[in-house]
Structure 1
Amino acid sequence: MRNIKVLVRPMVEQRRLVAEVQMLEKRVVDAQPVIGAAPAREQAILQGHC
């Protein structure tokens, strides 16, 4: 067990990856209201065209 080597990316790359994941998480959070409103918008559009 002591002879197992674990490869770790350089700290600069780790920080870049963390920043990218955080940006993507923010985009998901920002998109939630739009996604949540989609069914109501769909109904409004369908009712407007009938």
Structure 2
Amino acid sequence: MILTINLDFANWTQVFEDEQMTAALVDRLTHRAHIFGMNGDSYRFKQSFKQS
């Protein structure tokens, strides 16, 4: 499974609201997972300026 989101795990409560359930969700998603933090410029964002 591949899951992408532009929020840090600490900010997931903004989406799911219930802090305890969010912690359980993050725990289950990250157990034995490979997490790649992608920091950099957005390719789609750059392309949107070229098309304008």
* Fold equivalence (TM over 0.5): no
Bigger Cα Rg: 1
Structure 2-normalised TM-score?
0.28
Larger helix proportion, structure 1 or 2? 1
Structure 1-normalised TM-score?
0.29
